[in-house]
Structure 1
Amino acid sequence: MTDSKTIGVLVVEDEEIPAEAHAEYVRRIPGFRLAGIARTGTEAITALKVDAAPGSGPGSGSGSGSNTGSDAGQGIDLVLLDMNLPDLHGLDLLRRIRGAGLPVDVIAITAVRDLAVVRGAMSGGIVGYLIKPFTFSAFSTKLTTYAEYRRRMGEQAASTTQSEVDSAFAALRPTVATPLPKGMSGETLEAVADLLKRAPSPLSASEVSAELAMSRITARRYLEHLAEEQSVLRSPRYGTRGRPELEYSWRW
């Protein structure tokens, strides 16, 4: 683990588009930097062991993850862990990380909703669990609350108090969730996001409304909200009569 002011993040994700999207999300959040991308559990554990080896700190050129776009040699502090990897289940990788005594925190970022997996991840010491699909806002909130937790833990002396420990853990559980605009529901937003993620091509508000049995105006409102959150790419659809219709695609 590095003592630098920025938090180094290793993205562990086997699918190329989500991996690059998560990497780009990390780059956009102040105080964080991309330390690397691992596409398999084996790549991840190798990157972490190299990072933890003596002499692999800042400037050594050996502390980064396995893929491009990282800040080499600056250390890994946080792992964003997908549960569905081609060679290892995420829980198995989490156990190996803990068994090796590697000094990193882990946030699970996955589509897995199985309660047994969630419990296993929690018992393995994760500091967060983010279910796909999600907006950039949700991703940013998860990482910034982790940064606050890390800051509070770093301020404590070698011997701490119960109130200081409680304060640090409270940072991981913000009491006020990011509110949706009035009249919008989290369930409907999740349904729209999931539809866009599964769609093989961009969808218009009319197409979303037909798929989800809602009004076009309602569909457009949710789509625009996702676009403002920068989770959805909005672009004009040409080739239709009159004004170009807008179409929306999930960024990853």
Structure 2
Amino acid sequence: MSDIRVLVVEDDPRTAEAHGAYVGRLHGFVLAGVAGTAAEARRRLREAARAGERIHLVLMDFSLPDGDGLSLCGELRASGLVVDVIAVTAERGLDAVRRAVAVGVVQYLIKPFGFPAFADKLEAYAAYVERMSRPVSALSQAEVDTAFSALRTSNAAGLPKGLAPQTLAAVEALLAAAPAALSATEVAAEIGLSRVTARRYLEFLAEGGVARRGQRHGGKGRPETEYARE
């Protein structure tokens, strides 16, 4: 497999330089350039496509001087330009996470972070690309599941296997915005998870002191556990 060409889209020069250096440390990746604005990112992507030097991956900050990165992602997708995006942002609000999923962002990396977390995301992406680049005309269900699992099993330090950082951020943001405590069933319905999966995230937040548990009484049967942001 040829090197994965990466464009860093980041308006802060020092941060952009650091992320570019991180890319350079990873085997199988090459830095294709740095863009500080949405306009520059558009130009670089189009020029690379015309020159036959496709950019495979964009590391996209959401806050840019001339627009927001999520809108740019949607624009790229609508234009038919084939490029994957990893969100690299301090934005962790539930709406932002939902919009990122809607425009096809494949990974979500929350600032601040160090090189290990960065490498974990990009190496997971490389595994996904490798699995999707096999010389076959069609993939079995198992092969498709395996390819996508490469993106979903990359965990931040201290995060149990099977829990995704972007989903954890969405659950935490939902609790922070909620006017009252929520049950696992309510969180599951709001974010689109199973009740069991939602409860795993809620329990992780509770055990870490980020959320507090309570008991909801009043219905039939046993009291239901509810969770609120500390």
Give the TM interval when normalised to the shorter protein.
Answer: 0.5 to 0.7
C-alpha distance in 2 between matches for 1:111 and 1:176: 17
Give the aligned residue type for 2:31.
L
Is 1:84 aligned to 2:63, yes or no?
yes
C-alpha distance in 2 between matches for 1:175 and 1:42: 31
Q: Which runs of 5+ in 2 are unaligned?
A: 160-230
Cα offset, 1:178, TM superposition: 4.4
C-alpha distance in 2 between matches for 1:178 and 1:19: 23
Is 1:132 aligned to 2:111, yes or no?
yes
Give the aligned residue type for 1:145.
A
Which among 95, 102, 114 is matched to residue 74 of structure 2? 95
Structure-2-length-normalised TM-score: 0.66
Contact 1:156 1:164 in 2 (8 A): no
In structure 2, the partner of 1:5 is 2
Which among 29, 51, 58 is matched to residue 26 of structure 2? 29
Q: In the TM superposition, what are the counterparts of 1:147-186 in structure 2 within 5 Å?
A: 147-155=126-134, 157-174=136-153, 178-179=157-158
Cα offset, 1:75, TM superposition: 3.1
Q: Aligned pair in 2 of structure 1 residues 179, 160: CA closer, same or farther (>3 Å)?
A: same
Number of residues of Structure 1 aligned to a counterpart in Structure 2? 160
Give the aligned residue type for 1:39.
G
C-alpha distance in 1 between matches for 2:103 and 2:77: 8
C-alpha distance in 2 between matches for 1:177 and 1:20: 22
In structure 2, the partner of 1:15 is 12
Which among 88, 96, 117 is matched to residue 109 of structure 1? 88
SS at match of 1:112: coil
C-alpha distance in 2 between matches for 1:44 and 1:154: 26
In structure 1, the partner of 2:194 is none
Give the aligned residue type for 1:112.
E
Is 1:52 aligned to 2:49, yes or no?
yes
Contact 2:124 2:154 in 1 (8 A): no
Q: Give % identity.
A: 51
In structure 1, the partner of 2:177 is none
Cα offset, 1:44, TM superposition: 0.4
Give the aligned residue type for 1:102.
L
RMSD value, Cα: 1.8
C-alpha distance in 1 between matches for 2:135 and 2:111: 34
Q: Aligned pair in 2 of structure 1 residues 176, 107: CA closer, same or farther (>3 Å)?
A: closer
Residues 119-154 of structure 1: CA distance to partner in whole angstroms, max 9, x if unpaired? Answer: 101111111000000111000000000000000000
SS at match of 1:171: helix
Give the aligned residue type for 1:24.
A
SS at match of 2:147: helix
Residues 49-97 of structure 1: CA distance to partner in whole angstroms, max 9, x if unpaired? Answer: 11222xx12xxxxxxxxxxxxxxxx431100000000101111100111
Q: Which runs of 5+ in 1 are unaligned?
A: 58-73, 181-252
Q: Aligned pair in 2 of structure 1 residues 115, 179: CA closer, same or farther (>3 Å)?
A: closer
- After superposing on structure 2, the runs of 4+ consecutive aligned residues of structure 1 that deviate more than 6 Å are none
Cα offset, 1:158, TM superposition: 2.1
Structure having the larger proportion of residues in helix:
2
Cα offset, 1:8, TM superposition: 0.3
SS at match of 1:102: coil
Contact 2:121 2:154 in 1 (8 A): no
SS at match of 2:133: helix
Cα offset, 1:175, TM superposition: 6.5
